[in-house]
Amino acid sequence: MWYLCMFFHRLLDYRKAEVESLAQLFLDDNDKWSSLEWRLPLHHHPDSPFHYVDLPSEDVARNIANRSILVKGMYEIWGEGSSYEELEECIRSYPDERKLPYLEPGTTFKITVDSFGKVISFQDQNDRIQRFTYIPFKGQVNLKNPDHKFWVMETDDYGSSNGLPPVDGRRIFFGREVGGADRSLLPTYQLKSRNYLGPTAMDAEMAFLMANQALATPGKLVYDPFVGTGSILVAAAHFGAMTMGADIDIRVVRDGRGPDCNVWSNFKQYGLPMPVGLLRADNNLPPWRPGLKEIFDAIICDPPYGVRAGGRKSGGRKLLKGTVDPYTVPDDKRTDHIPSTGAYSLVECVHDLLDLAARMLIMGGRLVFFYPVLREDDHVENHFPEHPCFKRIATSEQILSSRYSRVLLTMVKISPYTLEIAEAARIKHIDFRENHLKWLEDGNLHSAVFSPDPQLTATGDSKLSKEPKPKYRGKYV
């Protein structure tokens, strides 16, 4: 059955991906592996907040909507049209057996008027509601806690100048609400109320989206190899998953900023179960026992990509540059020795992450991580990391500046980690080690993001060479 899915007008690239991921949690095994069908309402732009989606049952639609972050509402549409007359005709011809159960005496209901891209005054909202007298409502009105919620949703044929995706014609929908996102959890988890924060803590909304992409549910084990202050794992723990995290910086994972301001306290603050394990380890040389594999259900992370925070790996700065022989720690200084670390290029970091995930994820397990891309060309589709064990199922871009954006990649493990793959990864690992400087230069995003724009410096006239402004805000919201 087709349901109208109205999204919050945010993070446009993430909206369908979230619904498709959540469908995996709630669909029967038979339906699971076929992808969802989507359809746009007449004249709507793909960035429009209105999308029809085909789902097998109302329960599935409700469960998806209630768990989601970006679905404002999922509706069974009784009618739609370009005018109220057309809408009436459509609602009248909608089968009675679908309508009458929700109109019965003894039930309570509410009609809400909503609009996209314009404001409707209170008086006009009331006038619109009065038009629906042709629907035989037998129940009582209850505005606070109704059994059934009906929605009138309108879009207008405004031009493209108001910062919203252009719509060609006016469209009005009337439908019954099936479910909607509980965004009240966002203020609860917002970063400004978080006790322990780092410079790159993941904001709550994005962390929840990541946890949804990773299908975090009770009974699963979710791992973050760059745990930092735990901001991503908090979201996974909220959905009931067991969590585990590692970081190379011991001050972050062990000490925090005191006894009540550390990774543990971030979980305690929300009454969430503590991570089952936190450790200090290097993603480049992970300390997992030989033979351990397929233990995590999902790996979620925001790798250090060297723009706001750079990655580190063990080995020592000078040694990696090849200027000195390996430093031997004197025996009497071993106990409290703090090993120096060297820079960790993005390419190597992502290589290690994919290798780790290929080995440690269960079959069908998900790897969800951010990957930075430079916005030199409009199409970046083919530059994403790949691995023979994984299939990429979602690619959601969030634009951060005119120079670069980050893309949330969701990958599913589709084939087992073989000896050949392990060997290839080992050889690559050695290559990274031996050609440390070369990889560091090739994989350096920082200079590309912060260096002066060559166009600007060449012409000296910033106004002329500026890119034309986008016609509407779209992905920037």
Partner 1 sequence: MRLLTHNMLSSNIKGVSNGFPLRIEVEKVVEKQVDFNADFLRNMFPKIEWKAFVDAAKTIGYAELPEEVDSSALDSEEFLNKFHHALLELHLEEGALVCPETGRRFPVSKGIPNMLLHEDEV
Q: Which of 141, 250, 363, 374 binds partner 1 (CB under 8 A)?
A: 250
The least CB distance from residue 360 to partner 1, in Å, is 9
Question: Candidates 136-144, 184-192, 208-216, 219-227 — which segment interacts with partner 1 by CB under 8 A?
Answer: 219-227
Residue 98 binds partner 1, judged by CB under 8 A: no
Name the token pair of 85.
Answer: 């007359």
Q: How far apart are CA 78 and CA 175, in angstroms?
A: 5
Residue 339 binds partner 1, judged by CB under 8 A: yes
Residue 349 binds partner 1, judged by CB under 8 A: no
- What phi and psi values does residue 103 have, to the nearest 5 degrees? -115, 5
What strands, in cross-sheet order, belong to the sheet with 37-39? 37-39, 50-54, 2-7, 71-81, 171-179, 148-155, 108-116, 140-141
Quick one: DSSP state of residue 139?
S
Q: How far apart are CA 252 and CA 228, in angstroms?
A: 6
The least CB distance from residue 146 to partner 1, in Å, is 35
Residue 299 binds partner 1, judged by CB under 8 A: no
Report yes or no: 361 and 434 within 8 Å, Cβ to Cβ.
Answer: no
Question: Candidates 46-54, 118-126, 283-291, 346-354 — which segment interacts with partner 1 by CB under 8 A?
Answer: 283-291
User: Other CB atoms closer than 10 Å to residue 57's CB: what's the count?
Assistant: 13
Q: Which of 125, 340, 395, 398 binds partner 1 (CB under 8 A)?
A: 340
Residue 81 binds partner 1, judged by CB under 8 A: no
The least CB distance from residue 436 to partner 1, in Å, is 12
In order of 154, 158, 253, the CA distances from 198 in angstroms are 42, 43, 11
Residue 25 binds partner 1, judged by CB under 8 A: no
Report yes or no: 368 and 214 within 8 Å, Cβ to Cβ.
Answer: yes
Residue 307 binds partner 1, judged by CB under 8 A: no
Q: How far apart are CA 146 and CA 161, in angstroms?
A: 38
Q: How far apart are CA 26 and CA 427, in angstroms?
A: 41
Q: Which of 13, 47, 224, 282 binds partner 1 (CB under 8 A)?
A: 282
Residue 326 binds partner 1, judged by CB under 8 A: yes
If the CB atoms of residues 44 and 312 are measured against partner 1, the closer one turns out to be: 312
Q: Which of 56, 316, 372, 474 binds partner 1 (CB under 8 A)?
A: 316
Quick one: DSSP state of residue 417?
-
Residue 471 binds partner 1, judged by CB under 8 A: no
Residue 279 binds partner 1, judged by CB under 8 A: yes
The least CB distance from residue 224 to partner 1, in Å, is 14
The least CB distance from residue 218 to partner 1, in Å, is 6
CA max distance for the chain: 89
The least CB distance from residue 217 to partner 1, in Å, is 9
Residue 244 binds partner 1, judged by CB under 8 A: yes
The least CB distance from residue 279 to partner 1, in Å, is 5
If the CB atoms of residues 276 and 374 are measured against partner 1, the closer one turns out to be: 276
Q: Got the DSSP string for 180-232? A: ---TTHHHHH-GGG-SS--TTPPPHHHHHHHHHHTT--TT-EEEETT-TT-HH
- Count the site residues for partner 1 by CB under 8 A: 44
Report yes or no: 316 and 342 within 8 Å, Cβ to Cβ.
Answer: yes
Residue 271 binds partner 1, judged by CB under 8 A: no
| Positions in the binding site for partner 1 (CB under 8 A) | 218-221, 242, 244, 248, 250, 253-255, 273-274, 276-282, 285-292, 294-295, 297, 314-316, 319, 326-329, 334-335, 337, 339-340
